[in-house]
Amino acid sequence: MKRTILHVDLNAFYANVEILYRPELRDLPVVVTGDVEARHGIILAKNQQAKQFDIKTGEAIWQAKQKCPKLICLPADYRKYLRFSRLAKAICADYTDRIESFGIDESWLDIGGSAQLFGTGQEIADAIRRRFREEIGITASVGVSYNKIFAKLGSDMKKPDATTVITAENFRETVWLLPVEDLLYVGRATQRKLNSRMIQTIGDLANADLRTLKLLLGVWGEMLHQYANGLDNSSVRLSGEESIVKSIGNSTTATRDLVNENDVKMVFYVLAESVAARLRQSGLKCKTIAIGLRNTELFSFERQGKLSAPTFVSTDLVQKAMELFRDHYRWERPLRSIGIRGSDLVTADRHIQIGLFDRDPVAKEKLEKTVDEIRRRFGHESIQRCMLLQDRKLTGINPKEDHIIHPIAFLR
């Protein structure tokens, strides 16, 4: 069966949902922002009028207001966005059961089996866009292609409220002239490496020497070369089908700068308890710990290290995280945000090899499972570590449940 893939991208999603509730703002420059008090004071979304002032997603609010002094800033309300995201997916589900989310406002649809019922890919894309406008009041851009990578690229090419078709016959004329950074999974670091080799466009990448790309980027070089040539056979998952868990992590931007090791340890404990609880909930343990650090100059890096044994115990995660931190951070600047991630996952029901001088790991696991049960029954703050009481403003978060929803770019 011939594949027909759609990528549906809801235009300026957060901003347009907010305008539905405040229609008097429709013709004014509007942005949705993070929580300034929690130091998430950045632009999360902007409407078409705000885009005309060259306001960019991710820039600071004060920078955006310098470009547009009359800019209207609205706080994010994720309950609204989840509601409209579900409404949009319900419309898509009328055309296929193969719907794979790519963040709250983007989805891939495989409609190859629907053509006989609903028409061509372009006809289905146009019907979906029309129903979005008429039934839920928002617009979308849709890319239509024979693979996921080009469908995503198509939805980015024309905004707002447009359908772009990329075929096996026209992709060289349509895709190869675009900047290489427009290709999915080409982040800033990869772009810099490719540009340093005079690979400026997707066509340059498609025609580059494969051996050179593999030396430059490793296996990702070969993968990107295939994508640039339209060689993507990845499937669109069935609705509700879970992806294989590769890692479990969490990060936060602190409410104040982290200026010493004790600050870092407190936040690591908050994050590690979240990660450990999610590992236990998934029936998994991790064998590798990675930490991510970003200082006040916004310089960031990640380091990782192997554990002596697989674990889902938060104390073990923090111990390794602090070891990595002490080995690699020199306090040239205070820290703004940190993260911790468990990877190299294994099932939790495997046998435990106890070292001769180790404390009883089974007892530690039972203790953490008991804490899970107490928090389930009486709330997250019903039981806390004493050290976290030193600064409740810094540690008073529940990262397992208090999520900020952002689009996901898996490999960037």
Q: Note whether 169 and 57 are within 8 A (CB).
A: no
Given pLDDT bands bounded at 50, 70 and 90, which one contains residue 19? very high
Residues 6+ apart with CB under 8 A from 381: 398
Given pLDDT bands bounded at 50, 70 and 90, which one contains residue 241? low
Active-site residue list: 106
| Structure confidence by residue, pLDDT tens digits, 73-90 | 999 888 899 899 999 999
Mean pLDDT in residue range 347-353: 66
Q: CA-CA distance, 135 to 133, in Å (whole number)?
A: 6
Lowest mean pLDDT among 11-15, 149-153, 202-206, 358-362: 358-362
Q: CA-CA distance, 360 to 354, in Å (whole number)?
A: 8
Q: What is the pLDDT of residue 305?
A: 93
**Best CA proximity match to 400, nearest among 310, 286, 311, 270:** 270
Question: For residue 165, what is the enclosing H or E element?
Answer: strand 163-165
Both tokens of 46, joined, read 């902007």
| Structure confidence by residue, pLDDT tens digits, 301-334 | 889 999 988 999 999 999 999 999 999 999 988 9
Task: Using alpha carbons, list the distances in angstroms from residue 247 to 205, 237, 244, 309, 410.
Answer: 30, 19, 9, 16, 12
Mean pLDDT in residue range 335-340: 91
110 has pLDDT over 50: yes
pTM over 0.95: no
242 has pLDDT over 80: no
**Best CA proximity match to 334, nearest among 257, 243, 230:** 257
105 has pLDDT over 50: yes
Q: Note whether 286 and 307 are within 8 A (CB).
A: yes
Tell me which DSSP letter residue 191 carries: H
Q: Which amino acid is at 217?
A: L
Distance of CA 73 to the CA centre of its chain: 23
Question: For residue 30, what is the enclosing H or E element?
Answer: strand 30-33
Beta bridge partners of 56: none
Per-residue 3-state assignment (H helix, E strand, C coil) for 86-110: HHHHHHHCCCCCCEEECCCCEEEEE
Q: What is the pLDDT of residue 57?
A: 85
Q: Note whether 96 and 114 are within 8 A (CB).
A: yes
Phi, psi of 251 (to 5 degrees): -145, 165
| 132 or 384: which leads in pLDDT | 132
Lowest mean pLDDT among 26-40, 110-124, 157-171: 26-40
Structural domains for the chain: 1-169 (3.30.70.270), 176-228 (1.10.150.20), 247-395 (3.30.1490.100)
Lowest mean pLDDT among 68-72, 157-161, 194-198, 360-364: 360-364
> Beta strands 284-295 and 300-311: pairing type?
antiparallel
Neighbours of 31 (CB within 10 A): 29
Q: What is the pLDDT of residue 154?
A: 96
Lowest mean pLDDT among 36-40, 258-262, 273-277, 309-313: 36-40
Tell me which DSSP letter residue 332 carries: S
Q: What is the pLDDT of residue 244?
A: 56
Q: What is the pLDDT of residue 378?
A: 77
Lowest mean pLDDT among 99-113, 146-160, 353-367, 372-386: 353-367
Residues 6+ apart with CB under 8 A from 403: none
| 41 or 213: which leads in pLDDT | 213
Residues 6+ apart with CB under 8 A from 250: 271, 274, 275, 339, 340, 341, 399, 400
Q: CA-CA distance, 186 to 318, in Å (whole number)?
A: 32
Q: Note whether 226 and 210 are within 8 A (CB).
A: no
Q: Which amino acid is at 59?
A: E
| Structure confidence by residue, pLDDT tens digits, 121-144 | 999 999 999 999 999 999 999 999
Q: What is the pLDDT of residue 24?
A: 95
Q: What is the pLDDT of residue 235?
A: 87
